[in-house]
Amino acid sequence: MKDIKFIYSKTILLSGLLFLVTMGCEREISNEVEFATNNSSGEIFTDSPIGLGSDFYFPFGGSKATAWTVDESEGYESEASMRFDVPNANDPEGSYAGAIFRVDGAGRNLTEYDALTFWAKASQGVSIGSIGFGIDFEGDKYQVTKSELSLSTNWVKYTIPIPDASKLIEERGMFWYSAGTQNTGGNGYTFWIDDLQFEKLGTIGQPLPKLYDGKNAEMQTFVGTDGLLDLPTVTFNLGSGQNTTLLVAHSYFDYMSSEPSVVNVTKEAGLAESLTSGQAVITASSAGVQAEGALTVSVIGDFNFAPTPTRDPNNVISIFSDVYNNVPVDFFNGYWQPYQTTESADFEINGDNVLNYTNFNFVGNQFANPTVDATEKSNMHINMFIPGEVPGDMDFLISIIDFGADGADGGGDDTREQVFFNKSIWVANTWITLEFPITLTNKNAIGLIIYENINFSSLTNFYLDNIYFYSE
């Protein structure tokens, strides 16, 4: 049961296409032959979009598609700027503003620059949730994220350093943003950006890459399982003397395993592959600078499979299981922007598929095309496994959502059942069974299951298997 991702699907195009013109096997290449190169312009917006093409603005799912416009009455020492109208939290057209600006065509060669810069201001003092570059919906190989960018009502210049410009040979993801109202009590606001461009400043120094916030983290796993490493960070000293910390893609880092025969690391995916029993320490560097922090992975043996379901298939509607036929599922992880941090590292061992959630805060399984009619089913069944220690503050919430007569999420007629679980029912490194009655008044259009950390619970990683509705 592999997760279906809304975005992040295609690979980056190979750069540097070389065209050779020859007239014979002994003839030398003419001096007039030109090598194909990518556009190296750093300009993105100055009074208007520059060199992006005709189709470059792609909103995130659930965002207000019309949030961005060109404001011809406001600009930094100019007559126009990019305007972003963040909607109220209850806006029916979208609860936040967020999108990418992607070059329509071949990517740009940004190797001569060291930062993305822009001028910005807002209608009120506010923090923008996330902003950066490198999201292209084609793998997001070189994504960079600056979180909680603080804006004032005056124009201020901002700098987002490039972790390793030598890698940006053909980059299409020029800019992205995600702005909500979590800091404004649900009230919308406006912010403006002008003179958006990549620059060579020459004043950025002292890069400090970190794994696991510069700490020595530990993780237990099993032979044959893969674990997704947490995204690393890099802190830079800006020309102003201030430091800025960025969340960056794994591709900016070179990973090393002390015991590659025990744990191998796939660089670009940040995937730790557990090959045999033992222990390995994962370290890394970025742009030639050794990263602070490390991850010790203990591979403790063969994987402990979830209990095999034995219920009659006629009494089961299965969402995720290798024992039953599953209903069509839209996704097991919707990667909901801008608030979700949960990533997926699902795996398969000997034909048994397991959902593996890492960096967890909340995540959803959606099956809306079609929704599930569970009218004749009385209960929910889920198997859950926590690798390593169970957090002492663990507080876990499962929500089952019926989409109502319109069959649409958020259509105004949705109903929700919430079931709370605390630490007492879990045992580390052990599959537990969660079973509970479905108490929804109407349950003929169930389309979504959501799992959440609540009350500041610190659960970060767990497995799921055998998710199904059933009757006795």
In tens, the pLDDT along 238-252 reads 988 899 999 999 999
Is-contact 435 383, C-beta < 8 A? Answer: no
Where are the domains positioned within the chain?
A: 43-199, 207-302, 313-470
For 391-420, what is each residue's pLDDT tens digit? 999 999 999 999 998 888 877 889 999 999
For 353-373, what is each residue's pLDDT tens digit? 999 998 899 999 999 889 999
Q: Which whole number is the average pLDDT over 184-192?
A: 94
Comparing 43-199 with 207-302, is the CATH topology the same? Answer: no
The label of the residue with tokens 């659930």 reads: 62
One-letter-per-residue 3-state SS of 302-330:
ECCCCCCCCCCHHHEEEEECCCCCECCCC
Distances, alpha carbon 165 to alpha carbons 145, 171, 232, 332, 417, in Å: 15, 10, 17, 34, 48
Coil, helix or strand at residue 424: helix
CA distance 409 to 330: 13
Residue 27 has pLDDT above 80, yes or no: no
Query: What is the β-pairing status of strands 205-210 and 57-59?
Result: unpaired
Is-contact 451 363, C-beta < 8 A? Answer: yes
Q: What contacts 446, CB < 8 A, 6 or more positions away?
A: 367, 371, 372, 373, 374, 400, 401, 402, 403, 440, 469
Which two structure tokens, joined as six digits, stand for 223?
């032979």
Q: What contacts 457, CB < 8 A, 6 or more positions away?
A: 391, 393, 394, 395, 396
Peptide bond into 309 cis (omega under 30): no
Q: Which of 98, 59, 85 is nearest to 187 (CA)?
A: 85
Which two structure tokens, joined as six digits, stand for 58?
């792609």
- State what percent of residues in the chain have pLDDT above 70: 92
Which two structure tokens, joined as six digits, stand for 201?
């400043």
Widest CA span of the chain, in angstroms? 82
Q: How confident is the model at residue 21 (pLDDT cuts 50, 70, 90)?
A: very low
Q: Which whole number is the average pLDDT over 2-17?
A: 27
Residue 1 has pLDDT above 80, yes or no: no
Is-contact 67 87, C-beta < 8 A? Answer: yes
Is-contact 76 103, C-beta < 8 A? Answer: no
Residue 28 has pLDDT above 80, yes or no: no
Q: Which whole number is the average pLDDT over 138-155?
A: 95
CA distance 333 to 355: 10
pLDDT, position 406: 85
For 202-229, what is each residue's pLDDT tens digit? 999 889 999 999 999 888 788 887 777 8
- State what percent of residues in the chain have pLDDT above 90: 72
Residue 328 has pLDDT above 60, yes or no: yes
Coil, helix or strand at residue 317: strand
Q: Which of 353, 362, 329 is nearest to 446 (CA)?
A: 329
CA distance 251 to 90: 37
Which two structure tokens, joined as six digits, stand for 389?
């220690």
CATH superfamily for domain 313-470: Galactose-binding lectin (2.60.120.430)
Q: Which of 51, 57, 56 is nearest to 99 (CA)?
A: 57
Q: Which whole number is the average pLDDT over 109-133?
A: 97
- Neighbouring-strand partners of residue 146: 131
Question: Both ends of the chain: CA-CA distance in Å?
Answer: 25
Q: In what order do the strands lie in the sheet with 263-266?
A: 226-228, 271-274, 263-266
Residue 11 has pLDDT above 80, yes or no: no
Q: Which fold has domain 207-302?
A: Immunoglobulin-like (2.60.40)
Residue 88 has pLDDT above 90, yes or no: yes
Is-contact 324 468, C-beta < 8 A? Answer: yes
Q: What contacts 138, CB < 8 A, 6 or more positions away?
A: 9, 10, 11, 12, 172
The label of the residue with tokens 């994987």 reads: 303
**CATH code for the domain defined by 43-199:** 2.60.120.430
For 280-321, what is each residue's pLDDT tens digit? 999 999 999 999 999 999 998 888 899 999 999 999 999 999
Residue 260 has pLDDT above 80, yes or no: yes
Mean of pLDDT over the chain: 88
pLDDT, position 37: 59
Which two structure tokens, joined as six digits, stand for 146?
């600056």
Is-contact 342 362, C-beta < 8 A? Answer: yes
CA distance 446 to 425: 26
CA distance 140 to 9: 9
One-letter-per-residue 3-state SS of 38-88:
CCCCCEEECCCECCCCCCCEEECCCECCCCEEEECCCCCCCCCEEEEEECC
pLDDT, position 175: 98
Residue 7 has pLDDT above 70, yes or no: no
